[in-house]
Amino acid sequence: MSVLDREILALMRDVAERIIMPRHQALKATEIIEKADDDLVTIADREAEVALAEGLAKLHPEAAIVGEESVHADPSVMDRLSGTCWIIDPIDGTSNFASGTGHFGIMVALAEEGFAQGGWIYDPQRDRFCAARRGQGAMIDGEAVTARASGANPPRLAAMKKFMTPEQRRRFDLEIVPNYTLVHAPGAACEQYPLTMLGEHDVAIYERTLPWDHAAGSLFLNEAGGTCLRLDGTPYRVDDGRSGMVGAASRDLFDQLVVRLSAAGYAPAA
* pLDDT score for 86: 98
The answer to whether the Cα torsion of 47, 52, 57, 62 is positive or negative is: negative
Given a cut of 90, whether residue 270 has pLDDT beyond it is no
Q: Do residues 135 and 18 both lie within one domain?
A: yes
The yes-or-no verdict on residue 73 having pLDDT over 90 is: yes
Confidence of residue 46 (pLDDT cuts 50, 70, 90): very high
pLDDT at 269: 79
Number of domains in the chain: 2
Mark whether 257 and 188 lie in a shared domain: yes
Residue 58 belongs to a domain with what CATH number? 3.30.540.10
Same domain, 138 and 179: no
The mean per-residue pLDDT over the stretch 101-115 comes to 97
- Say if 126 falls within a structural domain: yes
CATH number at residue 206: 3.40.190.80
d(CA 170, CA 163): 13
For the residues 27-51, what does the mean pLDDT come to?
A: 90
